[in-house]
Chains A and B, each alone.
Chain A
Amino acid sequence: MSARSSTAHSVVEPSSTSKLVASVLVVVYALVTMIPLFWIVVTSLKSPPDSISYPPKIVFTPTIEGYCNLFTNQTRQTPEFLATLPPATTACEKVTRERNMVIVGPSNFTKRFFNSLVIAFGSTALSVFLGTIAAYGFSRFKVPLKDDLLFFILSTRMMPPIAVAIPIYLMYRELGLSDTKIGMILLYTAVNVSLAVWLLKGFIDEIPREYEEAAMIDGYTRLQAFRKVVLPQATTGIVATAIFCMIFAWNEYAFAVLLTSGDAQPAPPFIPTIIGEGGMDWPAVGAGTSLFLIPILVFTILLRKHLLRGITFGAVRK
């Protein structure tokens, strides 16, 4: 790094003071943005009384109770009945028995979480697929009314999607798409595809068409040329687009509340409804939220190199 920054390309080497200030600012900013995440994770490890104590407890005894409550349904029993039961085998059972409760079965969280995965990955894959082929078409072929079509596609993003919630609700009820995973996938795809087309068109426009022409002359069909030559070079754009689509579909709440109630319900509308004895079960909510963060975190970390290149595309000429 130092070798590179000393080449003629660097403009002015920043002074060590300004570097220090910049580092401090970045660290402070990172800490501030981390506080809610930190609090979520901390809450998930508290007992219910600790989670609502005032002033908030920083020092507490961590417990897995929140996670147990998240994954299981429980019922209160008398101490006499508890005494007749065989000794608790799992850590969760032990924690539960201490509060005079028994586990009666798994909760719906796993199902909801799985729904989230299916809907988010499904709609991301579909958006990126449609976006890529549409963007390629717009980029390479003479499409009648191309500019108008592109503007129309963009204009679908100009209103908040929730503005059409009522018509969509009615439409979905008629079509039998309410509370189905395929319905949610289609809906999120419809919202994301315009973003995907526009982002990917930018990336594909930057790939010289000579590459495909060369491949076609070398004996490939256009489809083969697209797969072997265009796609590998559009990877960065495709990945960046996928991340944006994924984040939207994963976090979407409003439509999920409105259109799903049971079978197809994803995690976001489910988590805030976890109610324990005597009100919100905050540790369970914290546990659910913490777990919910993991997939998108992993997805983004795995692809972060592309994301960085993706969001700065066009800024630097190669």
Chain B
Amino acid sequence: MAEIRVNHLKKNFGDFVAVRDSSFTVKHGEFFCLLGPSGCGKTTTLRMIAGLELPTDGEILLGGDDVTFRRASERDIAFVFQLFALYPHMNVRANIGFPLKCDGLSSAEIRRRVEETAQILRIADLLDKPVSGLSGGDRQRVALGRAIVRKPKAFLMDEPLGALDSEFRHVMCGELRALHNRLKATTVYVTHDQLEAMSMADTIAVMNNGLIEQLGSPREIYDRPASLFVADFIGSPSMNFLDTHAALASGASELNIDGTKVGIPAMRVSVSESDLVLGVRPEHVSLSDQSTLRGEVFGVEYLGTTQIVTVTTKRGMVRARISADMKASLGEHVGLSFRPEKLSVFDKSTGRVLKSALHEGGVHG
């Protein structure tokens, strides 16, 4: 197991820039997620770490060694593909044992290691079956088996659950994380599914247009999004955005939205008069009759423990996640209030968040 360090990685495909300038470190034993919409460069980044693509610029260090231009076969990493890539002309045993055969291990040793791996993944009964008849989940387990059997320096996974149906994906999420807890293997996991990333990762890198927008723990990324993109991409339903035009002094803790003063975390920077965006998570919105920020209830989605109430305001739709026992009926005029300490203010032109007390750690509940 080893640490993966990526410095100023760039990749162009002709005129298309797939990865602009990525730098990050995956700590020894960490479960690291590259999360982003399709085409954001996350898979290209992973393939460069694997050695399946060569970077245009930048360097990749694996356990301290510069492997930037080394062949995939000389990097000692394992890769799990989205479509599993199980060799169809071999049975399960041969598939899992394939990397060991390449290392020139004795057949007794291969047998022992393959069986040990199959035990871990609970597929020992499938060992002598052909891979063609396996279910999606079992194929996925065999693909994982082929990765872990070799005890490589790191695991790279490219949307390994993407081909499974959503119900089963959830089960495999749990299994993958349990496997990681057991093996403590450095893992880089690529996905476009925020739930997968949030539920499994120690650290998430949110990518967009070839750039890493934010790097942090799932909690940090959810609670303190660094940019409008991250704020919008993470969370379901996504964050509410309210446009406004204002100047903020350092230390200010109020923002004027349509004449209503909305409390915000104390600013740590000052901005001159400019377009700003207030970001509010639906669970930080509550319906209150006193508020002067008003709107009309447009829709109600009942979700069991909570309900999502959509309110049309002068500044667009605002979604509120409120307790399911509260009553909200269509067409009703309601006031909206926000939890001040949880709000983010973004600079609309750069898309970046403005530093405030929110970013000083220890924000709970």
- Knowing A219-B73, A220-B73, A233-B89, the reply to whether A214 touches B102 (Cβ < 8 A) is no
Chain B residues whose CB sits within 8 angstroms of the CB of A218 once the complex forms: 73, 78, 98-99, 102, 146, 150
Looking across the interface, which residue of chain A has its beta carbon closest to that of B149? A218
On whether the beta carbons of B146 and A232 are closer than 8 Å, the reply is no
| A215 & B71 in contact (Cβ 8 Å cutoff) | no
What 0/1 readout, one digit per residue, does chain B (72-113) give for beta carbons within 8 Å of chain A? Answer: 110101110101010111000000001100110000000000
Could you tell me the distance in whole angstroms from the C-beta of B339 to the nearest C-beta in chain A? 47
With known contacts A229-B87, A232-B89, A214–B81 Cβ distance under 8 A: yes
CB atoms of A208 and B89 under 8 A apart: no
Q: How far is the CA of A220 from the CA of B73 in the complex (A)?
A: 6
Given known contacts A208-B83, A218-B146, is B88 in contact with A213 (CB within 8 Å)? no
Partner of A213, one of B75, B81, B99, B102: B81
Q: Is B330 an interface residue (CB 8 A)?
A: no
Residues of B within 8 A of A219 (CB): 73, 99, 102-103
Q: In the docked arrangement, what's the CA distance between A210 and B75, Å? A: 17
**B51 in contact (CB, < 8 A):** yes
* A221 beta carbon closer than 8 Å to chain B: yes
Query: Do A221 and B71 touch (CB < 8 A)?
Result: yes
B73 lies within 8 A of A214 (CB): no
Closest to B75 in A: A217
- Bound: A232/B85 CA distance, A: 14
Looking at the complex, which one of A215, A217, A220 makes contact with B51 (CB distance below 8 Å)?
A217
Check if B85 sits within 8 Å of A214, measured CB to CB. yes
Count class of interface residues, chain A: 10 to 19
Per the CB 8 Å criterion, the residue count for chain B at the interface is: 22
- Residues of chain B within 8 A (CB-CB) of A208 are 83, 85
Q: Does B52 contact A (CB under 8 A)?
A: yes
Tell whether A233 pairs with B71 under 8 Å between CB atoms, given A213-B79, A218-B99, A219-B103. no
Residues in B whose Cβ lies below 8 Å from that of A152: none
Are A213 and B73 within 8 A (Cβ)? no
Nearest-Cβ distance from residue B86 to partner chain A, whole angstroms: 8
Residue among A208, A211, A217, A233 with the most chain B CB within 10 A? A217
- Verify if A216 is at the interface (C-beta below 8 Å from B): yes
- Asked whether A217 lies within 8 Å of B83 as measured between CB atoms, the reply is no
Bound: A220/B104 CA distance, A: 11
Q: Which of B105-143 contact A (CB under 8 A)?
A: none
A211, A218, A224, A233: most-surrounded residue (chain B CB, <10 A): A218
With a CB–CB cut-off of 8 A, which chain A residues contact B150? 218
B156 to chain A, nearest CB (A): 8
CB proximity of B157 to chain A, nearest CB, Å: 12
Is the Cβ of A210 less than 8 Å from the Cβ of B73?
Answer: no
Q: Could you show 26 A-B contacts with beta carbons less than 8 Å apart?
A: A210-B83, A211-B85, A213-B52, A213-B85, A214-B81, A214-B85, A214-B87, A214-B146, A215-B98, A216-B73, A217-B52, A217-B72, A217-B73, A217-B77, A217-B78, A217-B79, A218-B73, A218-B98, A218-B99, A218-B146, A219-B73, A220-B73, A229-B87, A232-B87, A233-B88, A233-B89
Known contacts A218-B78, A219-B73, A229-B87; 18 additional CB pairs below 8 A are A210-B85, A213-B52, A214-B81, A214-B85, A214-B87, A214-B146, A215-B98, A216-B51, A216-B72, A217-B50, A218-B73, A218-B99, A219-B103, A220-B102, A224-B102, A232-B87, A232-B89, A233-B87
Give the interface of B toward A (CB within 8 A).
50-52, 71-73, 75, 77-79, 81, 83, 85, 87-89, 98-99, 102-103, 146, 150
Give 5 closest A-B pairs by Cβ, nearest first: A210-B85, A218-B99, A219-B102, A214-B85, A232-B89
Write the residues of chain A forming the contact surface with B, with a CB cutoff of 8 angstroms. Answer: 208, 210-211, 213-221, 224, 229, 232-233
